[in-house]
């Protein structure tokens, strides 16, 4: 009979150090860190937080630059309903939702999968939604130099729903526009397209 062995891709030294901190936190909360249910919790939490913040090890700009193509398309390109999961830097609690990203090409387009990858790279860090929205916009702008970029993000924040004000149905919406999207007509077209179900 062989025993199951899971192979994890984590920095062992970092995992050990973070796990020590979690053991101390659990003890300070009044828990018995020797009880069965908590024996592996510090290590699991250490690995979870490494995964939840692995965006620090990614370069969003290089992600976009790795798949740029010359194309004369001049109309709006939208990738919408991108799932986003991040961690509030104020309370270390999750916030999650969807983000919609658009740009108007100026001679260059990018492989469509790269935009969700950029969202992932920025969101897997300690964040506030407002900054995350701007970082995505600025990265697309720098990499493609398009005629304009638009980002709208809608998220639920566990720091509002699980603690504090405890309003379970609240949704926070942030937006960030530049270039052509600062014009009322273009911005309205973008909002209309992300609001309508085309399928």
Question: Is residue 4 a part of any domain in this protein?
Answer: no
Q: How many domains does the chain have?
A: 2
Q: Both 89 and 122 in a single domain? A: yes
Q: Both 111 and 77 in a single domain? A: yes
The 10s digit of each residue's pLDDT in 19-30 is 999 999 999 999
- CATH label of the domain that carries residue 26: 1.10.286.10
Q: Which helix (H) or strand (E) holds 86?
A: strand 77-88
CA 187/CA 57 separation, integer angstroms: 33
Q: Both 18 and 65 in a single domain? A: no
The 10s digit of each residue's pLDDT in 68-89 is 999 999 999 999 999 999 999 9
Q: Both 44 and 89 in a single domain? A: no
Q: Both 135 and 176 in a single domain? A: yes
Place of tokens 């969003």: 60
For residue 177, give the nearest of 143, 122, 140 by alpha carbon: 140
Task: Mark out the alpha helices in 3-148 (DSSP H runs).
Answer: 12-28, 41-52, 60-65, 114-123, 129-144
CA 8/CA 50 separation, integer angstroms: 12
Q: Both 88 and 185 in a single domain? A: yes
CA 135/CA 141 separation, integer angstroms: 10
Active site residues: 88-91, 129, 157, 159
- Expressed as residue numbers, the domain containing 179 is 60-195
Q: Both 87 and 185 in a single domain? A: yes
CA 65/CA 114 separation, integer angstroms: 9
Q: Both 85 and 143 in a single domain? A: yes
Give how far the C-alpha of residue 167 lies from the chain's centroid of Cα atoms, to the nearest Å: 22
Proportion of the chain above pLDDT 70, given as a percent:
94
Kindly indicate the confidence band of residue 199, based on its pLDDT and cuts at 50, 70 and 90: very low
The 10s digit of each residue's pLDDT in 121-178 is 999 999 999 999 999 999 999 999 999 999 999 999 999 998 888 888 889 999 999 9
The residues, ordered by sequence, that sit 6+ positions from 1 with a Cβ below 8 Å of its Cβ are: none
- CATH label of the domain that carries residue 83: 3.30.1130.10
Q: Both 116 and 146 in a single domain? A: yes
């Amino acid at each position: 009979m062989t025993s199951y062995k899971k192979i994890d891709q984590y920095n062992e030294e970092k995992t050990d150090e973070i796990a020590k901190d979690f053991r101390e936190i659990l003890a300070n909360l009044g828990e018995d860190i020797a009880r069965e249910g908590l024996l592996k919790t510090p290590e699991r939490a250490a690995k979870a937080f490494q995964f939840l913040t692995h965006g620090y090890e990614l370069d969003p700009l290089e992600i976009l630059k790795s798949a740029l193509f010359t194309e004369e398309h001049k109309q709006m390109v939208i990738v919408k309903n991108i799932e986003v999961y991040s961690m509030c830097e104020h309370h270390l609690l999750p916030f999650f939702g969807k983000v919609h990203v658009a740009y108007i090409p100026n001679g260059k387009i990018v492989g469509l999968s790269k935009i969700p990858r950029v969202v992932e790279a920025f969101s897997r860090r300690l964040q506030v939604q407002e900054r995350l929205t701007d970082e995505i916009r600025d990265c697309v702008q720098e990499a493609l130099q398009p005629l304009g970029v638009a980002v709208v993000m809608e998220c639920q924040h566990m720091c509002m729903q699980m603690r504090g004000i405890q309003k379970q149905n609240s949704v926070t919406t942030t937006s960030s526009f530049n270039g052509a999207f600062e014009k009322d007509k273009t911005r309205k077209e973008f909002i209309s397209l992300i609001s309508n179900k085309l399928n």
